[in-house]
């Protein structure tokens, strides 16, 4: 059992609302950022899109050469009609960084406010003139990766950029969408997934917590719990304790 409960309210607050969390942002993202992204996408495809299964493959996502780009992983979405394989790059950029104006986006924002933030963020991420992402760290998702050994692909793989930021070209509250990439990539389009939008959609449906499989984070948290422990409630905390 390596499943964890994700508190969606706390998750969105950490990434989108709490300015004080900036000090700990990189540490939390290092502990669980990529795995959290794949876990939320799995939850979306299995619970919202009816996939038989959706999971990260336990194999590197590289060009297959000694040098070249490396992406964050392969993601397989199995449906009754077949399996789609995505080559995925995850960016957990939130309002704490990536040139943000450090303006929080409250959970209680109106639909119009959320829509405006989505379109503003999209213009920051997407180069509409050249049909590609502005950031070089995201453009690499549209470079073909070498297919991993031992995995049969029934169809060509597809690129997917998994981002934390709430974003959409027209401001629709859709966590998953695709953009055409004419003249830029060998791929006809790139899929985009917004983790913030999906988490907020679940909260609107009155989901406070979801259960997801995160084996790496599960084991890291277990190590931390063994090494660092809160004092028990019966231990006196204060000057007398410190003096002792």
Q: Report which of residues 141 and 235 the model is more confident about.
A: 141
Tens of pLDDT along 31-69?
998 999 999 999 999 999 999 999 999 999 999 887 778
Which of the 8 DSSP states describes residue 39? H
pLDDT for the residue numbered 144: 94
- Which residues are CB-neighbours of 228 under 8 A, at least 6 positions away? none
Q: Return the closest-CA partner of residue 39 out of 188, 199, 154, 187.
A: 199
Does residue 237 surpass a pLDDT of 80?
Answer: no
- Answer yes or no: are the C-beta atoms of 189 and 215 closer than 8 Å: no
| Model confidence at 96: pLDDT above 80 | no
In the prediction, which pLDDT does 31 show?
Answer: 94
Report which of residues 222 and 100 the model is more confident about.
222
The pLDDT, as a whole number, for residue 244 is 37
Per-domain residue ranges of the chain? 3-243
d(Cα 123, Cα 118) in Å, to the nearest integer? 9
Q: Tens digit of pLDDT for each residue in 179-196?
A: 999 989 899 999 999 999
pTM of the model: 0.92
- For all residues of the chain together, what is the average pLDDT? 91
């Amino acid at each position: 059992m390596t499943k964890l409960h994700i508190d969606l309210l706390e998750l969105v607050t950490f990434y989108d609302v709490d300015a004080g969390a900036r000090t700990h942002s990189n540490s939390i993202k290092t502990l669980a950022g990529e795995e959290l992204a794949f876990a939320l996408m799995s939850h979306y495809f299995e619970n919202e899109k009816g996939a038989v299964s959706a999971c990260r493959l336990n194999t590197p996502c590289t060009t297959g050469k000694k040098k070249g780009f490396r992406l964050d992983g392969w993601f397989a979405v199995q449906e009754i009609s077949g399996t789609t394989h995505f080559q995925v790059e995850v960016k957990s950029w939130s309002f704490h960084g990536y040139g943000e104006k450090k303006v929080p986006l409250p959970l209680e924002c109106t639909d119009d406010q959320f829509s405006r933030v989505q379109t503003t963020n999209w213009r920051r991420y997407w180069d509409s003139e050249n049909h590609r992402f502005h950031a070089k760290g995201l453009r690499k998702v549209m470079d073909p990766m070498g297919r991993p050994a031992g995995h049969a692909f029934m169809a060509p793989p597809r690129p997917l950029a998994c981002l934390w930021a709430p974003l959409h070209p027209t401001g629709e509250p859709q966590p998953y969408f695709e953009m055409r990439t004419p003249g830029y990539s060998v791929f006809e389009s790139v899929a985009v997934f917004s983790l913030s939008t999906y988490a907020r959609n679940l909260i609107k449906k009155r989901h406070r917590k979801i259960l997801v499989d995160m084996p790496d984070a599960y084991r890291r948290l277990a190590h931390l719990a063994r090494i660092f422990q809160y004092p028990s409630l019966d231990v006196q905390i204060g000057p007398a304790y410190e003096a002792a």
